[in-house]
A and B are shown apart, each in its own frame.
Chain A
Amino acid sequence: MIRYIIRRLLISIPILLIGSIAAFFLVAAAGNPIGELRAKPGVTAQQIRDLEISLGLDQPIIVRYWKWLVDFLQGDWGQSIALGQAKVDIFDSVMRALWITARLVVGAELLAIVLGVSVGVLAAVKQYSIFDYLATSTAFLMFSMPIVCVAVILKTYGIKFNNLLESMGLDRWLSTVSPAAGGFKGSFGEQVFQYTGTYLLPTLSLTLISFAAYSRFQRASMLETLNSDYVRTARAKGISQRRVIFRHAFRNALIPVSTLFSINAAALFSGAIITETVFGWKGMGNLLVQSIRTFDPYMLMGWLMVTASLVVVFNLVADIMYGFLDPRIRLA
């Protein structure tokens, strides 16, 4: 098992390396921070030249890539070279943003998996019941929803709900802006109040979309296993309904869902980009949008490398999950 994990991680190193070359050229080709300065009147060629030299943009791209790679591997991710902004350390800003996003995304994804899988199993076991119709049509609707609109609608009704609370003489509960710096304060009850208020709406908007995909997938694969021969055999042997569903069918039905989980890992960040924009969180999404706006090459590289590595890790997790769910899939 450990050998398998190490081997898989070793295989992913060349992929990440080639990915970094592709990303570096892409980012460099897209533009650079002083590109827009050129078009401005009153900026002399000499000034631009000086700026280029000071930012190291006068060197050939291969040289820049090599320098970046050597520094990057040594843990020096460089500094932001976007104009008109303080030169922040890239490692720090990416990690800070990742921490904010991770707290949101991990919770939302776990909630979506648990809810989606249970609803999918229930809908399959009680096929064509009212619950099944309700769950399937909700999932279908959410599956077709742009996450933008879900977030905007949740935010609007969140504000209305807050106003309602205020008119009843209570505190505003749901937060529709970025979480306050410095964490939550006060007694335990107050902290829970603040925590739920801050996370509820963004988590809900991420969960609803992922939930739809999980429950659809789970229902389909659960139905397939429930109708398979070995489940019929198990029933014929007189094994109780509960045991058939959970021990025989459920475990096998989870396999396609773990594939979805690994695909979702990358998509989750794009969902988070929108949710963060709507709710004003300063996470990975916000960092990406800002860096693209200012053509901040090294910041974008840091961002892309972190997300790419995360996807690699999630794919590995999904593959290990296959091994646990289906012993026939040997990880060697």
Chain B
Amino acid sequence: MPSDPSPVLNPLQPTGLPAAGSPTVAKGSEFDATKARKQSTLILRRFFRHRLAVAALVVFLLICAFGFLGPLFWTVSVEDTRSRGYLPPSGAHPLGTIQTGKDMLAQLIVGTRLSVQIALVVALGSTLVGVVLGALAGYLRGAVDSVISRFTDLMLIIPQIAVAAILVRALSGSWYTVAFILAAFAWMTIARITRGETLSLAQREFIEAARAAGAKTRWIIFRHLVPNMVGTITVNTTLAVATAVLSEAALSFIGLGVQSPDTSLGLIINENYSQITNRPWLFWGPFVIIVLLSLAVNFIGDGLRDAFDPRQTKVRA
């Protein structure tokens, strides 16, 4: 897969410059040719100029295609245990078989799909909860703020992976249970960030004007506050995807995450890591997919951050 080996930064590329009014437009007739561009168009244009981020997006889409469209091309059933265990790679089993005789490639396809699904559910779910709670706390202040903030503090002092593992053991190891449990313990960061942004935004005149015009809290939060924080929220959601991929892998690795009959990249690593010396392909397959997945998502997040806030380029780590 085309993993871009070039360094992380690409300073010579003018991603940081505001892309408005490109010179070709301004040349002809100065007044009527300058088309007004929507904010979203501008951001998208900036994002697509960021070559590394676009490459990462392609890698991410390829991994998704592998997981979601793979079964169309590789029709060996993941449940098929008729083959012998630990067969070396061959035409019938391009990545060999695992201990139980299941085909590794079929396992990888399902594992990739479920890992991606878990990561997306965790990222979207935790963002939704975090943004709503954070915005409520920051906008309403007072008692609501105290309750939500103390609750956030409370959730932050208990190690996420421990509580998640306890709940998974109690409930079940299906992919959506794991996803919901991880999401339930991942919203605190975004809630804090949203609260901070809301606190400062709520002081601005346009919010005051909206309130004076009689707008309800829900309207102000979703129509005025959230659109103004969309950059921060998007970037954090993207980064949450990467974190979720790694959390799921960690949880499944200690055997307290996704469990059979479902599978995931973490579980595949758990089942096969002892074979790293004798049958390396069983370990490196899921490993490469996990690393590419989280690398790609992190790069996309970085690209988005630059696209939303051009000033960020010079301080990007």
Contacts and interface: CB of A to CB of B under 8 A. Distances in A.
Interface residues of B, number: 46
Contact of A149 (B150, B163, B269): B269
Contacts of B1: none
Contacts of B72: none
B238 to A, nearest CB: 13
Contacts of A141: 291, 295
A144 B243 CA distance: 8
Given A152-B283, A266-B157, A304-B158, A223 B314 contact: yes
Contacts of A144: 242, 246, 291, 294-295, 298
Listed residue (B7, B160, B256, B317) with the most chain A CB atoms within 10 angstroms of its CB: B317
Contacts of A300: 166
A107 interface: no
Interface stretch (A38-46, A171-179, A305-313): A305-313
Contact of A29 (B150, B170, B256, B294): B170
Given A15-B157, A220-B316, A26 B295 contact: no
Interface in B128-177: 150, 153-154, 156-163, 165-167, 169-170
Interface string A287-300: 01100110100001
B254 interface: yes
A152 B253 CA distance: 11
A47 interface: no
A224 B317 contact: no
A267 B164 CA distance: 13
Contact of A30 (B169, B245, B291, B299): B169
Interface of A is mostly: helix
A83 to B, nearest CB: 15
A277 B154 contact: no
A128 interface: yes
Interface in A201-247: 215-217, 219-221, 223-224, 227
Contacts, number: 148
Contacts of B256: 289, 292
Nearest to B255: A289
Contacts of B317: 120, 136, 139, 215-217, 219-220
Contacts of B167: 26, 30
Contacts of A289: 165, 254-256
Contacts of B250: 146-148, 270, 273-274
A224 B159 contact: no
B266 A308 contact: no
A227 to B, nearest CB: 7
B105 interface: no
A167 B154 CA distance: 54
A26 B291 contact: no
A152 B170 contact: no
Contacts of A292: 165-166, 169, 256
Contacts of A132: 9
Interface in A278-332: 285, 288-289, 292-293, 295, 300, 303-304, 307-308, 311-312
B314 A227 contact: yes
A30 to B, nearest CB: 3
Contacts of A220: 315-317
Interface stretch (A17-25, A94-102, A181-189): A17-25
A23 B315 CA distance: 41
Interface in A120-179: 120, 128, 132-134, 136-137, 139-141, 143-149, 152-153, 156, 159-160
20 contacts: A23-B158, A26-B163, A26-B166, A30-B167, A30-B169, A133-B7, A136-B8, A143-B298, A145-B294, A146-B287, A148-B249, A148-B253, A153-B276, A156-B276, A156-B277, A216-B317, A267-B159, A292-B256, A295-B169, A308-B158
Interface of A: 15-16, 18-19, 22-23, 26-27, 29-31, 120, 128, 132-134, 136-137, 139-141, 143-149, 152-153, 156, 159-160, 215-217, 219-221, 223-224, 227, 266-267, 269-270, 273-274, 277, 285, 288-289, 292-293, 295, 300, 303-304, 307-308, 311-312
6 closest cross-chain pairs (CB), A and B: A30-B170, A133-B7, A270-B161, A220-B317, A216-B317, A144-B294
